[in-house]
Chain A
Amino acid sequence: MPEGFDLVVGLEVHCELSTATKLFCACPNAFGSEPNTNVCPVCLGLPGSLPVLNERAVEFAIRIGRALNCEVRPAVFHRKNYFYPDMPKDYQITQYDEPTNVDGFLELRDGSRVGIVRAHIEEDTGKSTHLGGSGRIHGADHSLIDYNRAGVPLVEIVSAPDITSAAQAREYVSELRAVLVATGASDGRMEEGSLRVDANVSVRPAGAAELGTRCEIKNLNSLRSLVRAIEHEAARQAALVSAGGVVRQETRHWDEEAGVTHPLRSKEEAYDYRYFPEPDLVPLVPDAELIERAEAAIGLMPAARRERLVALVGEGDSPGLADQVQTAIELSLDQLVLDAVAAGAEPRLALARAANEAAAKAEGARALSATAFAELLGLESAGTLSATQSKQVLAVLIDEGGAPAEIARRLGFEALEGGEVESIIDEVVAANTAEWERYLAGDEKVAGFLLGQVMKASKGRANGKIVAAALAKRRG
């Protein structure tokens, strides 16, 4: 943060809910379908169609609210009116002044708390692609619209302006993502757009009580861009104010390549949303039973799970270990680690494989059999599989399931029988007598060469650790 200024950040996070269907119709809430195939009269906004609220979306929203310590209240859906071609009805059904969840907080890893102003339910829009010209929205000749995502349920989580640094913003989103995944309401995938973050950024002279004018930064597609964008925007505003300028309240777009924000338009001049109660829907008044059911379905929160995992693997002294713990928590892979350890796996190895390799396929990994995972880790610990081989087996195991030993055999990773290794060593010794003599004489520099020859002769099937041990044993 530039000298002499305080940073104030509030975040708005849009989270897509993992329901089977859309918010107001029975179309599948699915990715990757052919364009305009997950659509019906309701989500295409055809004349005469009417919305009916998805029960599960409501339950998910309440889970999120309760996990964020919100009060769950009676809510009224409103229409937010504005024209935009990716919005089929030219209004968005959302919650306005009476949202479902209000007044909560999220506690970060360092114990600091960020207030949650509200977490409300609303529908997503369709997706436009731009044709001709630059292929981006500016300068395109035409746009093509796919309404498959129109009507997908979202919860928008609005934080209080309690965040004071880019690093804290990153912590907040990281922890929030872990909470969302833990509730079972979201898959938390930021890169794929399941989680979208807008940042309201302002600066004020250090110690000043009054908030500065804020800018809303959009297009933050990763934690990295969130941090970079906030840092850049803070510097931009501070420089502006230092030079005697005034910050304009506006929406700005983060350009990841250029590393700058640029203005979109000023909100006040263009829009008047004319909110009014959605007459096609009735109020949502969650009763105690619904709230209890939602609460019961919430998993253990990240903080408690983190504690549990650290107790298992130890504090450690490398920052890498803490990162692995956080990744496992965020992606809900900690239970897998716990179960694998219970089945006999080595804790730190289990965590490393979960947080590094399994993380790339988190969804499949969460469904992985802990016994099979433990079995694989056992083969690696025993030296039967090298680390590289173990990682390859893990990838197959997540994708296809099965028994690790069997997969290893199929991949040709089956460790050679002791006798076979010995006979290959015999061949290598016979073919490289000079090098063998030097090795016997204590020349460590040829050890690698001999090991390489054996591995080569075994066509990679030998386990390096075992070969090295066998060579050392012959030298005595």
Chain B
Amino acid sequence: MERISLAEVRHVAQLARLQLSDEELAVLQGELSSLLDHVEAIVALPTEGVAPTAHPLPLSNVLRPDVPGPCLEQRDALAAAPEAAEGRFLVPRILGEAP
């Protein structure tokens, strides 16, 4: 019994925007399951009352002054674009609005 179902693997691939073949999904199912088995060692650790560490540095309030600096030229901004038109990045049609 795998720790993660094929349907879950497919859902995660969708969330991650990865187009994968059925074969690749099946391989990933096995690999993710064995990795999750490995990770199980810490999932079971008692950590009640332990604060999470998101970051190794105890820094706060790193701010910059609101002063304009140089921008890229439009042609440099677009230089690496797979497709561009009218000074903008061109993409295939967008289905659905932004959330």
Find B63's partner among A36, A54, A84 (CB 8 Å cutoff).
A54
Interface size in chain A (residues, C-beta < 8 A): 65
Measured CB to CB, the nearest residue on chain B to A82 is B99
- Give the shortest distance, in Å, between A346 (CB) and chain B (any CB): 41
Q: Is chain B's interface secondary structure helix, strand, loop, or mixed overall?
A: loop
Q: Which of B61, B77, B93 contacts A143 (CB 8 A)?
A: B93
How far, in whole Å, are A26 and B67 apart by their CA atoms in the complex? 6
Stretch of B19-27, B28-36, B81-89 lying at the A interface: B81-89
Closest to A277 in B: B54
A87 partner residues in chain B, CB cutoff 8 A:
98
Contact pick for B88, options A27, A35, A38, A40, CB 8 Å: A35
**Contact (Cβ within 8 A) A144 B89:** yes
User: Could you give, for residues 186-204 of chain A, a 1 whenever the CB lies within 8 Å of some chain B CB and a 0 otherwise?
Assistant: 0000000000000000000
Q: What's the Cα separation between A141 and B89 when bound, in Å?
A: 14
Interface size on B, residues (CB 8 A): 37
User: Given contacts A142-B91, A279-B54, is CB(A44)–CB(B63) below 8 Å?
Assistant: no
User: Taking the complex as formed, is B72 at the interface, i.e. its CB lies under 8 A from any CB of chain A?
Assistant: yes
Q: Please state if A144 and B88 are interface contacts (CB–CB under 8 Å).
A: yes
When distances are taken between beta carbons in the complex, the residues of chain B under 8 Å from A35 are 74, 86-88
Shortest beta-carbon distance from A54 to chain B in Å: 5
Mark each residue of chain B from 9 to 49: 1 if its CB lies under 8 Å from any CB of chain A, else 0.
00000010100000000000000000000000000000000
| A12 lies within 8 A of chain B by Cβ | no
A84 CA / B97 CA spacing, docked (Å): 9
Q: Contacts A141-B93, A144-B85, A218-B97; is A39 near B71 (CB within 8 Å)?
A: yes
A376 to B57, CA, bound (A): 61
Contact of A38 among B55, B67, B71, B98 (CB under 8 A): B71
If the complex has contacts A55-B66, A84-B98, A284-B61, are A44 and B72 also in contact, measured as CB distance less than 8 A? Answer: yes
Proximity bits, A101-142, B CB within 8 Å = 1, else 0: 000000000000000000000000100111001000100111
| Docked-complex contact A271 and B99, CB < 8 angstroms | yes
**CA A276 to CA B48, docked complex, whole Å:** 20
Assembled-state Cα–Cα distance A76/B59 (Å): 12
Report which of B54, B63, B77, B88 forms a contact with A53, defined as CB distance below 8 A. Answer: B63
Nearest 9 Cβ contacts at the A-B interface: A26-B69, A56-B66, A144-B88, A55-B63, A277-B54, A35-B87, A282-B59, A145-B89, A285-B60
Q: Identify the A interface with B (CB < 8 A).
A: 19-21, 25-28, 34-41, 44, 52-58, 74, 76, 82-87, 125, 128-130, 133, 137, 140-147, 218, 251, 253, 264-265, 267, 270-272, 274, 276-277, 279, 281-287
A and B contact pairs by CB, cutoff 8 A, 18 listed: A34-B74, A34-B87, A35-B87, A38-B71, A44-B77, A54-B63, A54-B64, A58-B63, A82-B99, A133-B93, A140-B93, A142-B91, A143-B90, A145-B90, A276-B54, A279-B55, A283-B61, A287-B61
